[in-house]
Amino acid sequence: MEDKKENQEEWVLEKVEIEYNRFGDNKGMYTGRITFKNKNYESFHFVLYPEMTQKYLELIANEVVKSAEELTAKLIETLGLAKKEQ
């Protein structure tokens, strides 16, 4: 019984969110939150202030650029906009 209770109280990372603020005190900056949850449906979160989100954005920047380039190539191909050799 004790193992089951411990397992239900085990906290897991549920979500990491970063968003651009279009108004308010942090207008023009990114903020976010990190949420943890357990099997008892209890949760808590940490607020990510602009200086903290900047570190996360720096970590993922190269992957974002790579994904954007891949998406661009797929769209060009799908829409038939690829340059045709003459």
Strand partners, 36: 13, 44
* Confidence grade of residue 81 (pLDDT, cut at 50, 70, 90): confident
| Token couple for 54 | 């900047």
- Whether the pLDDT of residue 82 is over 90: the answer is no
Average pLDDT score over the chain? 90
| pLDDT, average across residues 55-66 | 94
* pLDDT recorded at residue 3: 58
- Whether the pLDDT of residue 52 is over 70: the answer is yes
The model's pTM is: 0.68
d(CA 46, CA 22): 21
- Whether the pLDDT of residue 67 is over 90: the answer is yes
* Confidence grade of residue 85 (pLDDT, cut at 50, 70, 90): low
